[in-house]
Amino acid sequence: MGRKCYLVFLSSVSFLIVFGFLLNGCGKKPPDWVTKGAAAFSPKEKKLYGVGVSELSPNEAMTRVRCDTRARADLARVLDSYVASLITDFMEEHKDYFNKDAEGSDEFTQIVIKSTTEATLIGSKVIDRYIDEKRKVMYCLVELEIDNVLQEAFNKMKEAARQKHRAIVKERSEEMLQKLDEELKKRTERGY
């Protein structure tokens, strides 16, 4: 009876150890947005998303700021991005009619891409963070409602129209003042 209890005890401990390893290996799964980015959300939502990634550092505040900033930069690329690219592709083939082993082909491809982004993200907010302890990385999710984007674009257009109107009024007033000066000069020359 004692041996049987001992075997049951050992099998229970073994089960718990195996279960513990399985549980540890099947840790918390990251949210979909970590791997899919904005594609993790329904296009029917009237929101835009950006994902930032930052390595964990001893300074947690710096890690958060870095991650948040990168998420907003990712979001800004959706709104306004200028991309310049240069691709150089070189191919060469050489034949040796006397020695087939000396034949060959060489290829070289070089790609250079420069991207600049500028956008005002009024109303953007960090809505989630995920820390991957294994990789020592923080992920941040930023959200911006499309209505805010449209309102900001409308405000920029109104301001641009105001500035253009001011420039036209200033130009016309300068023209009128110049004409007045010319008329006064003519009058002075006539002796009036």
- pLDDT single digits (tens) 150-177: 787 788 888 888 898 888 888 888 888 8
User: Domains of the chain: which residue ranges?
Assistant: 30-145
Phi, psi of 57 (to 5 degrees): -130, 165
Average confidence (pLDDT) over 67-72: 92
pLDDT reported for residue 19: 46
Q: Which has the higher per-residue pLDDT, 173 or 2?
A: 173
pLDDT in tens, 13-69: 454 454 444 444 455 789 999 988 877 788 788 888 999 999 999 999 999 999 999
CA count, 13 A, side-chain hemisphere, 190: 7
CA count, 13 A, side-chain hemisphere, 168: 6
Place of tokens 């005890």: 9
pTM attached to this predicted model: 0.53
Other residues' Cβ atoms within 10 Å of the Cβ of residue 140: 26
Q: Which has the higher per-residue pLDDT, 126 or 14?
A: 126
For the four alpha carbons of 169, 171, 173 and 175, in that order, the dihedral sign comes to: negative
CA count, 13 A, side-chain hemisphere, 177: 6
Q: Which has the higher per-residue pLDDT, 83 or 146?
A: 146
Place of tokens 């050992």: 10
Do 75 and 50 form a contact (C-beta atoms < 8 A)? yes
In angstroms, the Cα distances linking 14 to 4, 8, 11, 24 are 15, 10, 5, 15
The beta strand positions in the chain, using DSSP E, are 47-55, 81-94, 104-117, 125-132, 137-145
Query: 34-43: long-range contacts at Cβ-Cβ below 8 A with a sequence spacing of 24 or more?
Result: 34/130, 34/132, 34/139, 37/74, 38/78
pLDDT reported for residue 133: 93
pLDDT reported for residue 25: 47
Average confidence (pLDDT) over 79-99: 75
- The mean pLDDT value of the chain amounts to 80
Give the strand order in the sheet containing 137-145: 47-55, 137-145, 125-132
Do 129 and 141 form a contact (C-beta atoms < 8 A)? yes
Residue 4's identity, in one-letter code, is K
Do 51 and 72 form a contact (C-beta atoms < 8 A)? no
pLDDT reported for residue 16: 45
pLDDT reported for residue 190: 83
Structure tokens at 67: 């991650």
pLDDT at residue 81 is higher than 50:
yes
